[in-house]
Amino acid sequence: MEWDRLSILITGGTGSFGNKFVEMVLAKYTPRRLIVFSRDELKQFEMRQRFADTGGSPIRYFIGDVRDPDRLRRAMEGVDIVIHAAALKQVPSCEYNPFEAVKTNINGAQNVIDAAIDSGVKKVVALSSDKAVNPINLYGATKLCAEKIFIQGNAYAASTGTRFSCVRYGNVIGSRGSVIPLFREQRRNGKVTITDPRMTRFWITLPEAVELVVNALFHMQGGEIFVPRLPSMKIIDLAKAIAPDCEIEWIGIRPGEKLHELLITEDEGRNTVTYNGVYIVMPNLSWWERKNYATGEKLPEGFMYSSNTNEKWLTVEDLKKMIQSSLPTEQAFLDNFLTVVHNLTQRVLLDMINSEERIQGKEIVKSV
């Protein structure tokens, strides 16, 4: 791909993935335009500070919501590639607000597909989750629906040339909502809470997630789900890596939580090949004809990719090193400081305005 000619848009661009994607793309490539599309103006302000928003920067910041199809169409004018990262991701939040989760994760996905086709976007890659595989909570169910409609979006695109694929991966180190900040906070009190000693998870770093997306953009035919080969880890080992001297309290599995996570089911395994270091789940649909991945190797009968039967595992020492490398950088601390200053400034201004209004109100009362 000729990156210097490409215009790229990322929905949910101010999230953990979006920040890392922008950082790595700017470091390795020179896109013509890089559009950060999100609904949070404060996070966009923080990104402007981090990436030194100057006149020569290719970054553009668009306020918008994936629930708004008209705004998406306007934002995608002249765009070549879309990375769809916007979603409601917190399992408890989605359980408590199911209609909102559907509006963003399912209806929003359809809006992205329609806008991409209407705007002539060439490639769209959507971010999915291991929780979309055999889902037992609403978040996973909405991501499964999003996967299905993105794959089938290729049939809707037909001869327009717009192609859709997904990437599917596990828990991300350093992302917002990770269990790591929770364990760090609990460490202060000398006790960490774990749901079950048997619990395992897949683990991926943010740079690895970005590389997976870039790899998908290079190789996608349209209709595939790209799954990285990830190590597994035990939640209890993660707790030992973060808070080795703390007491552990077992609190039981929460509603909508699994003991182990799946990235590829046995049924999907029959249509999966290994290629270029990743698993590629190909669609079993009448309109799909395999053209790429000629050297891809089929998986053995009965193959499934589960966090508890994985061949590669992270030790406590491995986890310590990975967590250390994911600690906030000096720039991140600066961003947080600027955010605090920004919030404080707004609060001071509001107090001044309210104070002036109270004074004026008293003066009016006196004059009357």
**Residue 64: φ, ψ to 5°:** 180, 165
- Which H or E element spans position 250? strand 247-250
Residues 281, 303 contacting (CB under 8 angstroms): no
| 131: annotated active-site residue | yes
How far CA 366 is from CA of 147, 358, 360, 361, in Å, comes to: 65, 12, 10, 9
Instruction: Tell me if 70 sits within 8 A of 83, measured CB to CB.
Output: no
Q: For tokens 């209709």, what's the residue? A: 223
Place of tokens 């290994």: 274
277: left (phi over 0), alpha (psi -120 to 50) or beta: left
DSSP string spanning 304-366? -EETTS-S-B--HHHHHHHHHHTSPPHHHHHHHHHHHHHHHHHHHHHHHHHHHHHHHHHHHHH
Residues recorded for the chain? 368
For residue 202, the surrounding DSSP H or E stretch is: strand 200-205
Task: Give the H or E element holding residue 169.
Answer: strand 163-169
Catalytic residue among 43, 131, 234, 240: 131
Give residue for tokens 């290629």.
275
Write the single-letter amino acid at 56.
Answer: G
DSSP letter (8 states) at residue 163? E
Closest C-alpha to 62, from 87, 43, 49, 80: 43
Q: Which residues does the annotation mark as catalytic?
A: 131
